[in-house]
Amino acid sequence: MVKEVLVFIESLDGGGAEAIINNIAAAVDKSKFRLTVVTETDGERYTEEVRRNVLHRSFTKKDGSSLLNKAVIKYSLLAPESLVRKTLIRGNYDIEIAFCEGYATKIIGNSGKKNTKKIAWVHTDVINHPWSESVFGGAENEKKCYENFDAVVCVSETMKESFIKKYGMAEKVHVIYNVINDADIINKSKEKVSLQFKRPLFALAGRLTAVKGYDRLVRVCARLRDMGYDFSVAILGKGEEEENIRKMIEENGLSDRISLLGFQENPQKYIAAADVFVCSSYAEGYSTAVSEAVILGVPVITTECSGMREIFGNEECGIICENSEEGLLNAMKRVLDEPAMLEKFRAAEQIRAKELNISSRIKAFESFIDNI
């Protein structure tokens, strides 16, 4: 019997959780699970790819009336969750997955829909980066919503520990690692990069948001420049912090060192071309970008965040530094002073990459939702 599975998330734009949905849609066993992905918005980075593999619906339409789309979004934010579930999501499913904390969790958890198993997927550290509390008006309301789910899935063990410490419910909190399409990542990385960069090249990829710590990365680069080091940095992504970061780069006289490359359809080719991948984040869940760097054999410098040690596994794939500006500075300075260590990291990544394959990850996903 094929199980009907709803996956609900706000958008399919260029974030890590959205990329994971795209990977799941492509790899899930269609003879066992019929997935329907529902989003608020339409026409985004992964929309067409997802539609090629599973059913997809959105609250708004890319070619729809602007006024109508705005009205629908306003309704989805102000109407009771049960009405949003009934009128905009619609349908009956065996399993309903809220694939991101915040809005999606609020709608599915408070929908009042019975005769379905509900799973909340959590991609953030609810203690170190509790951004989703504001969606519920506070931690107490967020906890009440999570109590309505049959299971809560965290994407790393450290996130699981944080969730249980804050909200309890240990008996229904599980860890399922992100489904990563290693073959696709490797294939995309083979495309040539036309731009020329001063070596060594540090690359970063992700949404330009405050939590990603690009501000302290710029400050660190200014300090390294003043110490006499030569290097370049490529930052891939877009977001609300873009103009602030651009201004910081200009004010620090780093325009010849740091390139803001914006959104890239194929960030993997830039990651593969780099000497080191850097994650400067204040908080992470289970970083897709760091996972991709490991798969591509690009040494990693990352601040200590949820999931990083699990991505590295038992291998030394790079440097996990103190989550501070000084920690980031010391780690980057270390590889600039001792570039030979990068070969050791690359060799370790070749071992670890074999364990980050899509087949084992999708099997874990399927087994979990099949037995919930």
Predicted TM-score of the model (pTM): 0.85
Cα–Cα distance between 292 and 270 in angstroms, integer? 11
> Please, is 137 exposed, middle or buried when counting C-beta atoms within 10 Å of its C-beta (0-12, 13-18, 19+)?
exposed
Closest Cα to residue 270, out of 196, 214, 344, 339? 196
> Please, is 128 exposed, middle or buried when counting C-beta atoms within 10 Å of its C-beta (0-12, 13-18, 19+)?
middle
From first to last of the 372 residues of the chain, give the pLDDT tens digit.
899 999 999 999 877 899 999 999 999 999 999 999 999 999 998 999 999 999 999 999 988 789 999 999 999 999 999 999 999 999 999 999 999 999 999 999 999 988 999 999 999 999 999 999 999 999 999 999 999 999 999 999 999 999 999 999 999 999 999 999 999 999 999 999 988 899 999 999 999 999 999 999 999 999 999 999 999 999 999 999 999 999 999 999 999 999 999 989 899 999 999 999 999 999 998 999 999 999 999 999 999 999 999 999 999 999 999 999 999 999 999 999 999 999 999 999 999 999 999 999 999 999 999 999
Can you spell out the DSSP letters for 261-315? EE--S-HHHHHHH-SEEEE--S--SS-HHHHHHHHTT--EEEES-TTHHHHHTTS
Edge to edge, what strands does the sheet with 151-154 contain?
55-58, 33-39, 3-8, 95-98, 117-122, 151-154, 173-175
The two three-digit tokens of residue 290, written as one number: 């760091």
Maximum CA extent, the chain: 65
In the chain, the domains with their CATH numbers are 3-179+357-371 (3.40.50.2000), 183-353 (3.40.50.2000)
Torsion of CA 292, 201, 15, 131, to 10 degrees: 110
Cα–Cα distance between 268 and 186 in angstroms, integer? 8
The two three-digit tokens of residue 205, written as one number: 């990829």
